[in-house]
């Protein structure tokens, strides 16, 4: 099955696999997968003109595909996103 991503409104990316990433405000992002979700901190890094997404180790353990999915979604969000 081919994985598809699409934007919903201005701040959300959804996947045909049932997960989504939403930018709640400039410092907060939400990842949802089925009935579960987690909130991630986003920090603006002026020297790189980028936004750094901070995914805790526990979030990554609870959501094994979190980093890969965030990277896919970040390409579709406005701005430059990087990961710590």
| Tens-place pLDDT, residues 50-69 | 999 988 777 778 888 999 99
Cα atoms in the Cβ-side hemisphere of radius 13 Å centred on 64: 0
Quote the domain boundaries for residue 72.
Answer: 5-83
pLDDT the model gives residue 19: 95
| Tens-place pLDDT, residues 19-51 | 999 999 989 999 999 999 999 999 998 888 899
Structural domain count, the chain: 1
C-alpha–C-alpha distance, residues 83 and 53, integer Å? 5
H helices present in the chain, as ranges = 57-62, 66-74
Contact by Cβ (8 Å): 21, 53: no
Contact by Cβ (8 Å): 78, 21: no
pLDDT the model gives residue 64: 86
């Amino acid at each position: 099955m081919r994985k598809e991503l699409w934007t919903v409104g201005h701040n959300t990316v959804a996947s045909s696999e049932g997960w989504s990433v939403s930018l709640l405000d400039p410092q907060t992002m939400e990842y949802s997968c089925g009935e579960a979700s987690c909130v991630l901190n986003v920090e603006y890094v002026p020297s790189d003109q980028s936004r750094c997404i901070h995914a805790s180790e526990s979030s990554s353990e609870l959501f094994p595909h979190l980093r890969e999915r965030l990277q896919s979604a970040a390409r579709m969000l406005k701005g430059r996103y990087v990961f710590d």
